[in-house]
Structure 1
Protein backbone atom coordinates (compact mmCIF):
# COMPACT_ATOMS: atom_id res chain seq x y z
CA UNK A 1 0.00 0.00 0.00
CA UNK A 2 1.40 3.40 -1.00
CA UNK A 3 0.51 7.05 -1.56
CA UNK A 4 1.21 9.16 -4.63
CA UNK A 5 0.60 12.47 -6.37
CA UNK A 6 0.72 13.47 -10.05
CA UNK A 7 0.68 17.03 -11.37
CA UNK A 8 0.34 18.52 -14.85
CA UNK A 9 -0.12 22.12 -15.97
CA UNK A 10 1.90 25.29 -15.67
CA UNK A 11 5.38 24.70 -14.23
CA UNK A 12 5.65 24.83 -10.43
CA UNK A 13 8.31 23.83 -7.92
CA UNK A 14 7.88 20.27 -6.70
CA UNK A 15 7.87 21.31 -3.06
CA UNK A 16 4.50 23.00 -3.51
CA UNK A 17 2.97 19.52 -3.54
CA UNK A 18 5.57 17.23 -2.03
CA UNK A 19 6.55 19.10 1.14
CA UNK A 20 4.54 22.32 1.67
CA UNK A 21 0.79 21.47 1.82
CA UNK A 22 -0.99 20.89 5.11
CA UNK A 23 -1.19 17.17 4.29
CA UNK A 24 1.73 16.95 1.86
CA UNK A 25 3.04 13.67 0.53
CA UNK A 26 5.95 13.76 2.99
CA UNK A 27 3.50 14.28 5.86
CA UNK A 28 1.38 11.40 4.53
CA UNK A 29 4.45 9.19 4.80
CA UNK A 30 4.06 9.51 8.58
CA UNK A 31 0.33 10.13 8.91
CA UNK A 32 -1.82 8.85 6.05
CA UNK A 33 -5.57 9.22 6.60
CA UNK A 34 -7.05 7.06 3.81
CA UNK A 35 -4.58 4.22 3.24
CA UNK A 36 -6.86 1.30 4.07
CA UNK A 37 -5.48 -2.22 3.68
CA UNK A 38 -7.44 -5.16 2.28
CA UNK A 39 -8.21 -6.26 5.86
CA UNK A 40 -9.72 -2.85 6.66
CA UNK A 41 -6.78 -1.61 8.74
CA UNK A 42 -5.62 2.01 8.40
CA UNK A 43 -1.96 2.07 7.35
CA UNK A 44 -0.71 5.45 8.56
CA UNK A 45 3.01 5.00 7.83
CA UNK A 46 4.55 4.77 4.35
CA UNK A 47 8.25 4.50 5.08
CA UNK A 48 9.61 1.88 2.67
CA UNK A 49 11.14 4.32 0.19
CA UNK A 50 10.14 7.20 -2.04
CA UNK A 51 10.63 8.59 -5.51
CA UNK A 52 10.03 11.63 -7.68
CA UNK A 53 9.96 11.86 -11.47
CA UNK A 54 9.71 15.07 -13.46
CA UNK A 55 9.82 16.44 -16.99
CA UNK A 56 12.01 19.40 -17.83
CA UNK A 57 13.89 20.44 -20.93
CA UNK A 58 14.32 16.87 -22.23
CA UNK A 59 11.78 14.34 -23.47
CA UNK A 60 12.88 11.72 -20.94
CA UNK A 61 12.07 12.41 -17.29
CA UNK A 62 14.44 12.97 -14.40
CA UNK A 63 14.29 10.51 -11.49
CA UNK A 64 15.35 10.56 -7.85
CA UNK A 65 14.57 7.51 -5.72
CA UNK A 66 15.77 6.01 -2.48
CA UNK A 67 14.80 3.27 -0.05
CA UNK A 68 14.88 5.66 2.91
CA UNK A 69 11.64 7.02 4.41
CA UNK A 70 10.63 10.28 2.73
CA UNK A 71 10.66 12.14 6.06
CA UNK A 72 14.25 11.06 6.69
CA UNK A 73 15.90 12.34 3.49
CA UNK A 74 17.00 15.99 3.46
CA UNK A 75 18.06 15.64 -0.19
CA UNK A 76 14.42 15.19 -1.19
CA UNK A 77 13.49 18.46 0.50
CA UNK A 78 16.29 20.38 -1.22
CA UNK A 79 15.69 18.89 -4.68
CA UNK A 80 11.95 19.61 -4.53
CA UNK A 81 12.70 23.21 -3.55
CA UNK A 82 14.93 23.72 -6.61
CA UNK A 83 13.24 21.66 -9.37
CA UNK A 84 10.40 23.21 -11.38
CA UNK A 85 8.30 21.10 -13.75
CA UNK A 86 5.11 21.16 -15.82
CA UNK A 87 4.45 17.46 -15.15
CA UNK A 88 5.76 15.45 -12.24
CA UNK A 89 5.08 12.40 -10.07
CA UNK A 90 5.92 11.67 -6.44
CA UNK A 91 5.43 8.41 -4.56
CA UNK A 92 5.90 7.05 -1.03
CA UNK A 93 6.01 3.31 -0.52
CA UNK A 94 4.54 0.89 2.01
CA UNK A 95 5.45 -2.50 0.63
CA UNK A 96 3.35 -5.63 0.47
CA UNK A 97 5.32 -7.06 -2.47
CA UNK A 98 9.06 -6.79 -3.05
CA UNK A 99 11.96 -5.95 -0.78
CA UNK A 100 12.81 -2.50 0.53
CA UNK A 101 15.36 -1.46 -2.07
CA UNK A 102 15.85 1.39 -4.50
CA UNK A 103 14.99 -0.62 -7.61
CA UNK A 104 11.54 -1.29 -6.15
CA UNK A 105 10.74 2.38 -5.54
CA UNK A 106 8.36 4.28 -7.81
CA UNK A 107 8.04 5.91 -10.24
CA UNK A 108 9.34 3.58 -12.93
CA UNK A 109 10.44 4.97 -16.28
CA UNK A 110 10.91 3.82 -19.85
CA UNK A 111 12.11 6.32 -22.46
CA UNK A 112 9.69 9.26 -22.09
CA UNK A 113 7.16 7.40 -19.92
CA UNK A 114 6.64 7.45 -16.16
CA UNK A 115 4.51 4.99 -14.20
CA UNK A 116 3.59 4.75 -10.53
CA UNK A 117 0.85 3.05 -8.62
CA UNK A 118 -0.73 1.87 -5.39
CA UNK A 119 -1.83 -1.72 -5.63
CA UNK A 120 -2.65 -5.07 -4.17
CA UNK A 121 -2.79 -8.38 -5.98
CA UNK A 122 -3.27 -11.71 -4.26
CA UNK A 123 -0.23 -13.98 -4.10
CA UNK A 124 1.91 -12.22 -6.69
CA UNK A 125 4.77 -14.62 -5.99
CA UNK A 126 2.63 -17.45 -7.38
CA UNK A 127 1.78 -15.70 -10.66
CA UNK A 128 4.93 -13.63 -11.21
CA UNK A 129 6.70 -16.10 -13.51
CA UNK A 130 3.61 -16.60 -15.67
CA UNK A 131 3.16 -12.84 -16.12
CA UNK A 132 6.82 -12.04 -16.70
CA UNK A 133 7.05 -14.64 -19.47
CA UNK A 134 4.62 -12.43 -21.41
CA UNK A 135 6.92 -9.39 -21.28
CA UNK A 136 8.38 -8.53 -24.69
CA UNK A 137 11.96 -9.92 -24.79
CA UNK A 138 13.40 -6.53 -25.74
CA UNK A 139 11.76 -5.03 -22.64
CA UNK A 140 12.75 -7.76 -20.21
CA UNK A 141 16.17 -6.19 -19.41
CA UNK A 142 14.23 -3.20 -18.06
CA UNK A 143 13.00 -5.37 -15.17
CA UNK A 144 15.26 -4.31 -12.30
CA UNK A 145 13.25 -5.05 -9.15
CA UNK A 146 10.81 -7.55 -7.69
CA UNK A 147 7.51 -5.66 -7.44
CA UNK A 148 4.22 -6.43 -9.13
CA UNK A 149 4.16 -2.72 -10.10
CA UNK A 150 7.16 -2.97 -12.42
CA UNK A 151 5.83 -6.18 -13.97
CA UNK A 152 2.46 -4.51 -14.68
CA UNK A 153 4.23 -1.52 -16.28
CA UNK A 154 6.34 -3.71 -18.56
CA UNK A 155 3.30 -5.78 -19.52
CA UNK A 156 1.45 -2.59 -20.45
CA UNK A 157 4.43 -1.50 -22.55
CA UNK A 158 4.42 -4.93 -24.21
CA UNK A 159 0.74 -4.50 -25.07
CA UNK A 160 1.22 -1.08 -26.73
CA UNK A 161 1.15 1.51 -23.95
CA UNK A 162 3.11 4.10 -25.90
CA UNK A 163 0.55 4.13 -28.71
CA UNK A 164 -2.76 3.14 -27.04
CA UNK A 165 -2.59 3.68 -23.27
CA UNK A 166 -6.14 2.68 -22.38
CA UNK A 167 -6.18 -0.44 -24.56
CA UNK A 168 -2.75 -1.52 -23.28
CA UNK A 169 -3.89 -1.18 -19.66
CA UNK A 170 -7.05 -3.12 -20.45
CA UNK A 171 -4.99 -5.97 -21.89
CA UNK A 172 -2.65 -5.86 -18.90
CA UNK A 173 -5.51 -6.02 -16.40
CA UNK A 174 -7.20 -8.87 -18.25
CA UNK A 175 -3.93 -10.80 -18.35
CA UNK A 176 -3.37 -10.32 -14.62
CA UNK A 177 -6.97 -11.34 -13.87
CA UNK A 178 -6.55 -14.50 -15.91
CA UNK A 179 -3.41 -15.48 -14.03
CA UNK A 180 -5.00 -14.54 -10.72
CA UNK A 181 -8.09 -16.66 -11.27
CA UNK A 182 -6.06 -19.65 -12.42
CA UNK A 183 -4.12 -19.46 -9.17
CA UNK A 184 -6.83 -18.32 -6.74
CA UNK A 185 -10.45 -17.92 -7.93
CA UNK A 186 -11.24 -15.83 -4.83
CA UNK A 187 -8.19 -13.56 -5.24
CA UNK A 188 -8.25 -9.76 -5.46
CA UNK A 189 -6.70 -7.16 -7.75
CA UNK A 190 -6.63 -3.48 -6.87
CA UNK A 191 -4.94 -0.80 -9.00
CA UNK A 192 -4.59 2.96 -8.64
CA UNK A 193 -2.12 4.01 -11.35
CA UNK A 194 -0.70 7.20 -12.81
CA UNK A 195 1.30 7.34 -16.04
CA UNK A 196 2.50 10.01 -18.44
CA UNK A 197 4.45 10.54 -21.63
CA UNK A 198 5.34 14.08 -20.53
CA UNK A 199 2.45 15.63 -22.44
CA UNK A 200 -0.65 13.87 -21.14
CA UNK A 201 -1.40 12.49 -17.70
CA UNK A 202 -3.39 9.26 -17.46
CA UNK A 203 -4.75 7.48 -14.42
CA UNK A 204 -6.48 4.17 -13.79
CA UNK A 205 -8.66 3.22 -10.83
CA UNK A 206 -9.75 -0.41 -10.91
CA UNK A 207 -10.53 -3.11 -8.36
CA UNK A 208 -11.68 -6.71 -8.48
CA UNK A 209 -13.00 -8.60 -5.44
CA UNK A 210 -12.27 -5.81 -2.95
CA UNK A 211 -12.99 -2.13 -2.31
CA UNK A 212 -11.08 0.20 -4.62
CA UNK A 213 -8.17 2.28 -3.39
CA UNK A 214 -8.86 6.01 -3.23
CA UNK A 215 -8.08 8.46 -6.02
CA UNK A 216 -9.00 12.17 -6.30
CA UNK A 217 -8.31 15.10 -8.59
CA UNK A 218 -8.53 18.85 -8.24
CA UNK A 219 -8.22 21.93 -10.41
CA UNK A 220 -9.13 24.19 -7.47
CA UNK A 221 -6.79 27.13 -6.94
CA UNK A 222 -6.45 26.37 -3.21
CA UNK A 223 -6.17 22.58 -3.26
CA UNK A 224 -2.58 22.78 -1.98
CA UNK A 225 -3.86 23.73 1.46
CA UNK A 226 -4.45 26.97 3.30
CA UNK A 227 -1.35 29.10 2.89
CA UNK A 228 -0.74 32.78 3.48
CA UNK A 229 -0.25 34.93 0.42
CA UNK A 230 -1.60 34.80 -3.13
CA UNK A 231 1.45 33.11 -4.64
CA UNK A 232 0.62 29.74 -3.09
CA UNK A 233 -2.38 29.09 -5.32
CA UNK A 234 -2.33 26.34 -7.92
CA UNK A 235 -1.86 27.90 -11.36
CA UNK A 236 -4.79 28.05 -13.74
CA UNK A 237 -5.01 25.32 -16.40
CA UNK A 238 -3.44 22.81 -14.02
CA UNK A 239 -4.56 19.57 -12.36
CA UNK A 240 -3.29 17.46 -9.49
CA UNK A 241 -4.32 13.82 -8.95
CA UNK A 242 -3.70 12.19 -5.56
CA UNK A 243 -4.23 9.07 -3.52
CA UNK A 244 -5.57 11.30 -0.78
CA UNK A 245 -6.16 15.08 -0.59
CA UNK A 246 -3.35 17.44 0.36
CA UNK A 247 -5.49 19.16 3.00
CA UNK A 248 -8.70 18.48 4.88
CA UNK A 249 -10.93 20.62 2.66
CA UNK A 250 -12.59 17.78 0.77
CA UNK A 251 -14.91 20.02 -1.27
CA UNK A 252 -11.86 21.04 -3.29
CA UNK A 253 -11.40 17.46 -4.46
CA UNK A 254 -13.42 15.23 -6.78
CA UNK A 255 -13.24 11.50 -6.22
CA UNK A 256 -12.47 9.55 -9.38
CA UNK A 257 -14.94 6.64 -9.69
CA UNK A 258 -13.84 3.04 -9.58
CA UNK A 259 -13.28 1.17 -12.86
CA UNK A 260 -12.41 4.31 -14.83
CA UNK A 261 -9.64 5.57 -17.07
CA UNK A 262 -8.84 9.28 -16.77
CA UNK A 263 -7.06 11.53 -19.26
CA UNK A 264 -5.74 14.93 -18.14
CA UNK A 265 -4.34 17.70 -20.35
CA UNK A 266 -3.71 20.88 -18.34
CA UNK A 267 -7.04 21.30 -16.50
CA UNK A 268 -9.14 19.29 -18.94
CA UNK A 269 -10.13 16.07 -17.18
CA UNK A 270 -11.88 13.28 -19.10
CA UNK A 271 -13.13 10.25 -17.16
CA UNK A 272 -14.40 7.21 -19.04
CA UNK A 273 -15.34 3.62 -18.16
CA UNK A 274 -12.42 1.21 -18.13
CA UNK A 275 -13.74 -2.36 -18.32
CA UNK A 276 -17.32 -3.54 -18.64
CA UNK A 277 -18.29 -5.71 -15.70
CA UNK A 278 -18.94 -8.57 -18.09
CA UNK A 279 -15.40 -8.21 -19.51
CA UNK A 280 -13.82 -8.47 -16.08
CA UNK A 281 -15.98 -11.44 -15.11
CA UNK A 282 -15.40 -13.34 -18.35
CA UNK A 283 -11.60 -13.14 -18.51
Structure 2
Protein backbone atom coordinates (compact mmCIF):
# COMPACT_ATOMS: atom_id res chain seq x y z
CA UNK A 1 0.00 0.00 0.00
CA UNK A 2 1.04 3.67 0.31
CA UNK A 3 0.96 6.67 2.65
CA UNK A 4 -0.08 10.22 1.82
CA UNK A 5 -0.98 13.60 3.26
CA UNK A 6 -2.55 16.84 2.05
CA UNK A 7 -2.90 20.38 3.33
CA UNK A 8 -5.53 23.05 2.58
CA UNK A 9 -5.53 26.42 4.32
CA UNK A 10 -3.09 29.26 4.90
CA UNK A 11 0.20 29.13 3.04
CA UNK A 12 2.81 26.99 4.78
CA UNK A 13 6.12 25.41 3.87
CA UNK A 14 5.78 21.87 2.61
CA UNK A 15 8.52 20.53 4.88
CA UNK A 16 6.46 21.41 7.95
CA UNK A 17 4.35 18.31 7.22
CA UNK A 18 6.44 16.27 4.81
CA UNK A 19 9.57 16.30 7.01
CA UNK A 20 9.20 18.13 10.31
CA UNK A 21 6.63 16.08 12.22
CA UNK A 22 6.94 13.33 14.81
CA UNK A 23 5.44 10.91 12.27
CA UNK A 24 6.07 12.92 9.10
CA UNK A 25 5.44 11.51 5.66
CA UNK A 26 9.15 10.85 5.16
CA UNK A 27 9.24 8.94 8.45
CA UNK A 28 6.19 6.99 7.29
CA UNK A 29 8.08 6.06 4.12
CA UNK A 30 10.47 3.95 6.23
CA UNK A 31 8.34 3.21 9.29
CA UNK A 32 4.58 3.51 8.81
CA UNK A 33 2.70 2.67 11.99
CA UNK A 34 -0.66 1.92 10.39
CA UNK A 35 -1.26 -0.24 7.34
CA UNK A 36 -0.01 -3.43 5.75
CA UNK A 37 3.46 -2.24 4.71
CA UNK A 38 5.76 -0.33 7.08
CA UNK A 39 8.17 0.45 4.21
CA UNK A 40 6.96 2.71 1.38
CA UNK A 41 10.06 3.10 -0.77
CA UNK A 42 8.83 2.69 -4.37
CA UNK A 43 8.97 6.38 -5.17
CA UNK A 44 7.30 9.55 -3.96
CA UNK A 45 5.60 12.64 -5.32
CA UNK A 46 4.36 16.14 -4.56
CA UNK A 47 1.74 18.38 -6.14
CA UNK A 48 1.34 21.96 -4.97
CA UNK A 49 -0.71 24.96 -6.03
CA UNK A 50 0.45 28.53 -6.63
CA UNK A 51 -0.91 31.51 -8.55
CA UNK A 52 -0.72 29.45 -11.74
CA UNK A 53 -3.82 27.73 -13.11
CA UNK A 54 -2.37 24.23 -12.78
CA UNK A 55 -0.43 22.53 -9.94
CA UNK A 56 3.29 21.82 -10.04
CA UNK A 57 4.51 18.24 -9.67
CA UNK A 58 7.76 16.75 -8.43
CA UNK A 59 8.21 12.97 -8.48
CA UNK A 60 11.02 10.48 -8.34
CA UNK A 61 11.61 6.78 -7.87
CA UNK A 62 14.05 7.19 -4.98
CA UNK A 63 12.89 6.42 -1.45
CA UNK A 64 11.66 9.71 0.00
CA UNK A 65 14.15 9.57 2.88
CA UNK A 66 17.16 9.57 0.54
CA UNK A 67 16.26 12.43 -1.82
CA UNK A 68 18.24 15.60 -1.07
CA UNK A 69 16.23 17.58 -3.65
CA UNK A 70 13.03 16.78 -1.76
CA UNK A 71 14.49 18.32 1.39
CA UNK A 72 15.55 21.48 -0.43
CA UNK A 73 12.35 21.89 -2.42
CA UNK A 74 9.99 21.40 0.53
CA UNK A 75 12.07 23.71 2.72
CA UNK A 76 11.77 26.61 0.26
CA UNK A 77 8.26 26.09 -1.16
CA UNK A 78 5.08 27.48 0.41
CA UNK A 79 1.56 26.69 -0.73
CA UNK A 80 -2.03 27.01 0.43
CA UNK A 81 -2.81 23.53 -0.92
CA UNK A 82 -0.53 20.58 -1.52
CA UNK A 83 -0.56 16.80 -1.81
CA UNK A 84 2.32 14.44 -0.95
CA UNK A 85 2.59 10.67 -1.42
CA UNK A 86 5.03 7.83 -0.74
CA UNK A 87 4.47 4.64 -2.69
CA UNK A 88 4.53 0.93 -1.91
CA UNK A 89 3.79 -0.85 -5.16
CA UNK A 90 1.11 -3.55 -5.28
CA UNK A 91 2.58 -5.00 -8.46
CA UNK A 92 3.29 -2.39 -11.11
CA UNK A 93 6.80 -1.18 -11.87
CA UNK A 94 8.73 1.37 -9.86
CA UNK A 95 8.78 4.22 -12.35
CA UNK A 96 8.20 7.95 -12.31
CA UNK A 97 4.99 7.58 -14.32
CA UNK A 98 3.59 5.28 -11.64
CA UNK A 99 4.34 7.71 -8.81
CA UNK A 100 1.48 9.73 -7.35
CA UNK A 101 0.03 12.35 -7.42
CA UNK A 102 -1.41 12.23 -10.94
CA UNK A 103 -2.61 15.35 -12.70
CA UNK A 104 -4.92 16.54 -15.46
CA UNK A 105 -5.40 20.27 -15.89
CA UNK A 106 -6.24 21.87 -12.54
CA UNK A 107 -6.83 18.47 -10.90
CA UNK A 108 -4.43 16.35 -8.86
CA UNK A 109 -5.12 12.92 -7.34
CA UNK A 110 -3.40 10.35 -5.13
CA UNK A 111 -4.51 6.95 -3.87
CA UNK A 112 -3.76 4.22 -1.36
CA UNK A 113 -5.33 0.87 -2.17
CA UNK A 114 -5.78 -1.68 -4.91
CA UNK A 115 -8.15 -3.26 -7.41
CA UNK A 116 -8.08 -7.04 -7.00
CA UNK A 117 -6.66 -8.92 -9.98
CA UNK A 118 -5.30 -5.80 -11.65
CA UNK A 119 -3.14 -7.88 -13.98
CA UNK A 120 -6.30 -9.63 -15.24
CA UNK A 121 -8.44 -6.51 -15.71
CA UNK A 122 -5.88 -3.94 -16.83
CA UNK A 123 -6.87 -3.99 -20.51
CA UNK A 124 -10.56 -3.55 -19.72
CA UNK A 125 -9.70 -0.89 -17.16
CA UNK A 126 -7.90 1.09 -19.85
CA UNK A 127 -10.98 0.75 -22.04
CA UNK A 128 -13.01 2.67 -19.44
CA UNK A 129 -10.83 5.77 -19.90
CA UNK A 130 -12.46 8.23 -22.35
CA UNK A 131 -10.51 8.48 -25.62
CA UNK A 132 -9.95 12.22 -25.23
CA UNK A 133 -8.26 11.58 -21.86
CA UNK A 134 -6.17 8.58 -22.83
CA UNK A 135 -3.14 10.72 -23.68
CA UNK A 136 -2.90 11.35 -19.92
CA UNK A 137 -2.52 7.61 -19.24
CA UNK A 138 1.23 7.74 -18.67
CA UNK A 139 1.65 4.90 -16.19
CA UNK A 140 0.21 1.45 -15.53
CA UNK A 141 -1.50 1.70 -12.13
CA UNK A 142 -5.18 1.20 -11.38
CA UNK A 143 -4.92 4.44 -9.35
CA UNK A 144 -4.25 6.55 -12.42
CA UNK A 145 -7.00 4.71 -14.30
CA UNK A 146 -9.55 5.45 -11.55
CA UNK A 147 -8.61 9.13 -11.71
CA UNK A 148 -9.07 9.31 -15.48
CA UNK A 149 -12.31 7.32 -15.35
CA UNK A 150 -13.59 9.81 -12.76
CA UNK A 151 -12.86 12.62 -15.20
CA UNK A 152 -15.08 10.88 -17.70
CA UNK A 153 -17.79 10.60 -15.05
CA UNK A 154 -17.91 14.40 -14.59
CA UNK A 155 -15.23 15.27 -12.04
CA UNK A 156 -15.41 18.98 -12.91
CA UNK A 157 -19.09 19.34 -12.02
CA UNK A 158 -19.57 16.56 -9.44
CA UNK A 159 -16.22 15.81 -7.77
CA UNK A 160 -17.47 13.32 -5.18
CA UNK A 161 -20.18 11.68 -7.27
CA UNK A 162 -17.84 11.25 -10.23
CA UNK A 163 -15.23 9.55 -8.06
CA UNK A 164 -17.91 7.37 -6.49
CA UNK A 165 -19.10 6.26 -9.94
CA UNK A 166 -15.54 5.55 -11.09
CA UNK A 167 -14.89 3.40 -8.01
CA UNK A 168 -18.20 1.63 -8.62
CA UNK A 169 -17.22 0.75 -12.19
CA UNK A 170 -13.77 -0.51 -11.21
CA UNK A 171 -15.14 -2.57 -8.34
CA UNK A 172 -17.73 -4.16 -10.63
CA UNK A 173 -15.02 -5.05 -13.15
CA UNK A 174 -12.88 -6.61 -10.41
CA UNK A 175 -15.86 -8.61 -9.17
CA UNK A 176 -16.49 -9.94 -12.67
CA UNK A 177 -12.93 -10.53 -13.87
CA UNK A 178 -10.51 -9.99 -11.00
CA UNK A 179 -9.90 -11.38 -7.53
CA UNK A 180 -10.56 -10.49 -3.91
CA UNK A 181 -10.20 -7.99 -2.37
CA UNK A 182 -12.15 -6.37 -5.18
CA UNK A 183 -11.40 -2.79 -4.21
CA UNK A 184 -9.70 -0.93 -1.40
CA UNK A 185 -9.69 2.83 -1.75
CA UNK A 186 -8.42 5.77 0.26
CA UNK A 187 -7.80 8.79 -1.94
CA UNK A 188 -7.38 12.53 -1.98
CA UNK A 189 -7.99 14.86 -4.91
CA UNK A 190 -8.16 18.59 -5.53
CA UNK A 191 -9.05 21.23 -8.11
CA UNK A 192 -6.65 23.74 -6.53
CA UNK A 193 -9.42 25.34 -4.49
CA UNK A 194 -11.25 22.47 -2.79
CA UNK A 195 -9.67 19.38 -1.27
CA UNK A 196 -11.55 16.07 -1.28
CA UNK A 197 -10.82 12.71 0.37
CA UNK A 198 -12.70 9.43 0.59
CA UNK A 199 -12.36 6.07 2.31
CA UNK A 200 -14.01 2.89 1.03
CA UNK A 201 -13.52 -0.86 0.57
CA UNK A 202 -15.51 -3.72 -0.91
CA UNK A 203 -14.65 -5.66 2.26
CA UNK A 204 -14.25 -4.41 5.83
CA UNK A 205 -10.60 -3.40 5.45
CA UNK A 206 -10.74 0.16 4.13
CA UNK A 207 -7.28 1.78 4.11
CA UNK A 208 -6.66 4.20 6.96
CA UNK A 209 -7.48 7.89 6.58
CA UNK A 210 -7.57 10.75 9.12
CA UNK A 211 -7.90 14.51 9.26
CA UNK A 212 -6.98 17.25 11.70
CA UNK A 213 -8.58 20.68 11.93
CA UNK A 214 -5.95 23.36 12.60
CA UNK A 215 -6.52 27.04 13.33
CA UNK A 216 -5.56 27.95 9.77
CA UNK A 217 -6.51 24.88 7.72
CA UNK A 218 -6.91 21.13 7.48
CA UNK A 219 -4.48 18.21 7.26
CA UNK A 220 -5.60 14.95 5.66
CA UNK A 221 -3.27 12.03 6.27
CA UNK A 222 -3.10 8.25 6.07
CA UNK A 223 -2.09 8.26 9.72
CA UNK A 224 -1.69 10.91 12.46
CA UNK A 225 1.50 12.93 12.16
CA UNK A 226 2.00 13.18 15.92
CA UNK A 227 1.15 11.47 19.20
CA UNK A 228 -1.78 13.80 19.94
CA UNK A 229 -4.26 11.25 18.66
CA UNK A 230 -7.15 13.08 20.29
CA UNK A 231 -6.69 15.94 17.83
CA UNK A 232 -7.13 13.64 14.84
CA UNK A 233 -10.42 12.33 13.47
CA UNK A 234 -10.59 9.00 11.68
CA UNK A 235 -12.64 9.26 8.52
CA UNK A 236 -15.20 6.44 8.64
CA UNK A 237 -15.42 3.92 5.83
CA UNK A 238 -17.98 4.84 3.14
CA UNK A 239 -17.36 8.53 3.77
CA UNK A 240 -15.97 11.45 1.75
CA UNK A 241 -14.96 14.85 3.08
CA UNK A 242 -14.59 18.20 1.35
CA UNK A 243 -12.72 21.30 2.51
CA UNK A 244 -13.61 24.72 1.18
CA UNK A 245 -12.30 27.87 2.79
CA UNK A 246 -12.39 27.31 6.52
CA UNK A 247 -15.14 24.69 6.42
CA UNK A 248 -15.10 20.89 6.24
CA UNK A 249 -18.17 18.92 5.22
CA UNK A 250 -18.81 15.19 5.21
CA UNK A 251 -20.67 13.17 2.55
CA UNK A 252 -21.70 9.57 2.08
CA UNK A 253 -19.39 7.66 -0.27
CA UNK A 254 -21.05 4.33 -1.01
CA UNK A 255 -20.29 2.91 -4.46
CA UNK A 256 -22.70 0.14 -5.27
CA UNK A 257 -21.48 -1.85 -8.23
CA UNK A 258 -24.33 -3.26 -10.38
CA UNK A 259 -23.18 -6.83 -9.70
CA UNK A 260 -23.13 -6.10 -5.97
CA UNK A 261 -26.64 -4.62 -6.03
CA UNK A 262 -27.93 -7.77 -7.68
CA UNK A 263 -26.43 -9.87 -4.90
CA UNK A 264 -28.07 -7.74 -2.22
CA UNK A 265 -31.47 -7.86 -3.94
TM-score of Structure 1 vs Structure 2, range by shorter chain? over 0.9
Q: Runs of 4+ in structure 1 displaced over 4 angstroms?
A: 276-280
1:275 maps to 254
Q: Deviations over 1:128-170 (max 9, x none)?
A: 1112112111100110111111111110011111111112112
Shift of 1:278: 8.9
Equivalent position SS for 2:131: coil
1:130 counterpart = 2:124: yes
The alignment partner of 2:172 has SS state of helix
The answer as to 2:17 corresponding to 1:23 is no
Match of 2:141 in 1: 147
**RMSD of aligned alpha carbons:** 1.6
Equivalent position of 1:225 in the other structure: none
Q: Please give the TM-score of this superposition, normalised by the length of structure 2.
A: 0.95
Unaligned runs of 5+ in 1: 37-42, 221-235
1:266: how far off? 3.5
Which residue number in structure 2 is paired with residue 264 of structure 1? Answer: 243
Deviates further, 186-195 or 105-114: 186-195
Residue 44 of structure 1 deviates from its aligned partner by 1.1
**Which residue number corresponds to residue 238 of structure 1?**
217
Q: Could you tell me which of 70, 77, 86 is aligned with 1:83?
A: 77
Post-superposition CA distance 1:166-196 (Å, at most 9, x none): 1211211111121111114754210000000
Equivalent position SS for 1:281: helix
Aligned-residue offset at 1:114: 0.5
Tell me if structure 1 keeps the 8 A contact 2:117–2:179.
no
Q: Does 1:35 align with 2:35?
A: yes
Size of the aligned set, in residue pairs, is 262
- Larger mean CA deviation between 246-255 and 270-279 belongs to 270-279
Task: Note closer, same or farther for the CA distance 1:193–1:282 as it changes in structure 2 (3 Å cut).
Answer: same
Conserved? CA contact 1:195–1:201, under 8 Å: yes
Q: Which of 92, 97, 110 matches 1:98?
A: 92
**Preserved contact between residue 98 and residue 145 of structure 1 (Cα < 8 Å):** no
Alignment of 1:1-283 (within 5 A): 1-36=1-36, 43-184=37-178, 186-220=180-214, 236-275=215-254, 281-282=260-261
Q: Please, which runs of 5 or more residues in structure 2 have no aligned partner?
A: none
- Counterparts of 1:149 and 1:112, CA distance in 2: 18
Q: Is the 8 A contact 1:188 1:210 kept in 2?
A: no
* CA offsets 1:19-61 (integer angstroms, 9 cap, x no match): 001110001111100022xxxxxx2111000001000110100
Task: Report the TM-score when normalising by structure 1.
Answer: 0.89
Contact 1:6 1:240 in 2 (8 A): yes
Cα deviation for residue 277 of structure 1 reads 6.4
Structure 1 residues 248, 187: CA separation in 2 closer, same or farther (over 3 Å shift)?
same
Residue 215 of structure 1 and its aligned partner are, at CA, apart by 0.5
Q: Which moved more, 1:209-218 or 1:192-201?
A: 209-218
How big is the shift at 1:281?
2.8
Q: Which residue of the partner structure matches residue 233 of structure 1?
A: none
